[in-house]
Amino acid sequence: MEKTLLTLEGKQKLEDELVYLKTVKRVENTEAIKIARAQGDLSENAEYDAAKNEQAEIEHRILEIESMLKDVEIIDASVGDKNVVHLGGKVLLNGPDGEEEYEIVGTKEADPFKNRISNECAVGKAILGRKKGEEVTVETEAGKFKYTIVKIINSK
C-alpha cells in the first residue's frame, strides 16, 4: 500500500472531516432515512432514494479517509536541506505568468487554485531537489514552459 503524504494541517483537516461525518452527517442521514421511510411505499419514494444515496456517499468517504489516515506520512518542511526545494516547502517561481509562490504537497492535498501543487505534477517533479536560481523546463500537454526558482521557503 502506498503511503499518503500529508502536511500536519492536511492530516488535521481529514481527522476533523472524519469526526464530522461520523458524528453529524451520519446522524442527520439516519434521521432523513427514518423520515422518508415513514412516508410509506419505498419503491417510488425519491426522498428515501436520495437519503440512501447520501448514506452510501458518507460511508464511502469515511472508508476513504480512514484508509488514508491508516498509512499516512507527515510532510515536514522544517526537516532537510533548506537550500533545495522539497515536499512541504514553499517556493517562489518566475514562470510564464510572472512570479508565483507554490507549496509542494502530496497529491491528496494538491489544489492548484490555492497554489498547492503536487509533488507528482509536472512542475512539482521538475523543481523538487533544485536550488535557488536554477532554471527548469517543464513539458506538459500544453507545451514547454520555463521556470526559475527565485526563492525557497522551506521552514515555517
Cα–Cα dist 74/4, whole Å: 8
70 lies in the same domain as 85:
no
Note if the pTM is more than 0.85. no
Q: Are residues 40 and 29 in the same domain?
A: yes
Among residues 122, 111, 88, 112, the alpha carbon closest in space to that of 5 is found at 88
Least confident of 5-14, 34-43, 94-103, 125-134: 34-43
Which residue range forms the structural domain that includes residue 105?
76-153
Assign residue 69 the CATH number of its domain.
1.10.287.180
The pLDDT tens digits for 17-51 are 999 999 999 999 999 999 998 887 777 888 999 99
| 95 in the same domain as 142 | yes
Q: How far apart are CA 19 and CA 26, in angstroms?
A: 10
Question: Do residues 96 and 70 both lie within one domain?
Answer: no
pLDDT score of 98 more than 80 = yes
Percentage with pLDDT > 90 across the chain: 73
